[in-house]
Amino acid sequence: MLAQLLAAAAALLLAVLYRKLHYARFQQYAHFPQHAPSLLLGHLGVVDAFIRKEPPRGHADMAFTAMHEALGRPAVMLVDLRPVSSCMVIVCSHEVAEQVSRPTDRWPHTPPKGPEFWESMKPLAGPTSILAAHGEQWRALRKRFNPGFAPQHLMTLLPAILDKVSLCLGQLDTHARAGEEFSLQHIATNLTFDIIGRVVLDFGMDAQTATPTPFMRDFRALIETYTSDHLDLPWWCTPRTQLRRRQLSRRIRTTLRAMVRARHADAHGLRGASAGAGGRSILAMSLRDIGTLTPELVDVTCDQLSTFLFAGHDTTATLMAWAVYELARTPRALAAVRAELDELFGADSSPEAVRDRLLAPGGDELVHRMAYTSAVLKETLRLWPPGSTTRMTRPGDGWAVRDPSTGEMHNLDGLLVYQLVPIIQRDPRAFGDTANRFVPERWLHQEEDGDKAIPTGAWRAFERGPRNCIGQELATIEARVLIAMVARRYDFTKVGQGAVALDKAGEPELDGLGQYKVVSDMYQTREITSKPIDGIRMKVALV
């Protein structure tokens, strides 16, 4: 009798679980465009099948893009990753992305960021990072650090930026003389680490030397623990990696705490002769109005410094590497950049001459007059954005967006909302037949294009709305300065993946849009953010 009761109870339980699972897979979100789900795996099998079709180490976004194409490019696409991750809605339309980033009465600073990715990032960015904060906590942090990222302040740091770029040119000169192959991503990363260390902390990282500081070595080692992660796995899947991250994070935090206390003492004249040192750094500016430096305030400040050090070097380094690659394979664009630099800086293209022009009275205005160069950088970020963004609200919050193609309202409560920037920024509806091609000229005459102008929300490399990137001006200033210093001094040649194809006579061949044909396409991999698959392997020669 007992056995029969247990069997009946088990059958009833299985029936209830089956109904719940069937509802979750086939009914709960059936109104969203999606691939056919599996009862047990949802879309995990679909995602795996598309990933297997992508090149080695390709970013998962490439698989999502292929899935989106196979569905006929809907404005939104549901991907059910339960139980491995949350059920996710991928935003593929700039119209929907604008709705997501628009402030509302319920969320004046846009809905909260998705928690899953940031949980794994805590050892690197800290638990109170401005990137993961929301509501009044985010607003207070943004207000506190905004002055340090104001354009007029950043231009006062131009001499420090130029000093670090000069070190980079020395390395490129060495590679040119040796005729050796190198990773441009690596060169750019070391450069931007040096710049961000000086701008944020007024601290020498020595990243471009053979003996970086212990702090620089620890920070680099911490980032390297993430570079092989292509998925955000729970901590218990990688316990040794998690332990290593915590150890490095503690060492980094100890150094940062000491810096914060020292800069606070400087700002308030508590260290005698040293008072005022580093007063123009972003850290020093953020402490000027802080009277009592509590342990909690020290920790919150350290979280923001960690965030700025990571985000401030990462995006800019990747932008620089991709921009040089695109110029190297697009002779018309390189010629236009060089002509613009000749007009702004004069015929003398030596680093010393460019530096003197930039540091002369009014020279900083030249950085903002590099119209074609700025178009190159914007187009580079369109094709190769460093990352996307997530949002997530709780069930019952009442968050909904309108599908522009169908007019249907989609409730997003409890769903991880992933704005897939590579899809949005390569949308043929916004960018036409050249959506996948490097065409900087598309950005030069937007105000004259009228109805043909690119929709404002279709470019979101630094996101839009109240939570746009606080460091975007610094990133573009650095990149423009680097281009000004290197574009006329060097010829770069891609080797390996993405190398220029040669015809039977051994000459490069142009395609219909004025770019060299290549032996294989470049693509992105995931190393926390999106990176070029081979680090942009290059050879360089002096012009």
Q: Does residue 386 have a cis peptide bond before it, meaning omega lies within 30 degrees of 0?
A: no
Average pLDDT over every residue of 510-529: 94
Q: Which sign does the torsion angle of CA 532, 533, 535, 539 carry?
A: negative
For residue 71, give the nearest of 34, 32, 25, 96 by alpha carbon: 34
pLDDT above 90: residue 434: yes
pLDDT above 80: residue 270: no
Average pLDDT over every residue of 196-200: 94
Residue 274's pLDDT band (cuts 50, 70, 90)? very low
pLDDT at 51: 96
Q: Considering the entire predicted model, what is its pTM?
A: 0.94
pLDDT above 60: residue 351: yes
The two three-digit tokens of residue 155, written as one number:
């231009």
Query: For residue 50, with 0-12 CB atoms within 10 Å meaning exposed, 13-18 middle and 19 or more buried, which class applies?
Result: buried
**What count of other Cβ atoms lies within 10 Å of the Cβ of residue 300?**
22
Distances (CA, A) of 245 to 118, 121, 221: 14, 10, 9
Strands 400-402 and 409-411: antiparallel
pLDDT at 537: 98
DSSP state, 106?
Answer: S
Cβ(373)–Cβ(483) below 8 Å: yes
End-to-end CA distance of the chain: 91
Domain 25-542 fold is Cytochrome p450 (1.10.630)
pLDDT at 273: 39
Average pLDDT over every residue of 288-314: 93
For residue 76, give the nearest of 465, 388, 418, 396 by alpha carbon: 418
The two three-digit tokens of residue 419, written as one number:
């704005």
For residue 90, give the nearest of 46, 133, 127 by alpha carbon: 46
pLDDT at 231: 57
Taken as a whole, the chain contains a residue count of 543
pLDDT at 271: 53
pLDDT at 113: 87
- Average pLDDT over all residues of the chain: 92
Mean pLDDT is lowest, of 44-58, 218-232, 363-377, 524-538, for 218-232
DSSP run (H or E) holding 158? helix 158-178
Give binding residues for heme as ranges.
469
pLDDT at 2: 78
pLDDT in tens, 157-173: 999 999 999 999 999 99
- Rounded to whole angstroms, how far apart are CA atoms 176 and 188? 16
DSSP run (H or E) holding 391? strand 389-392
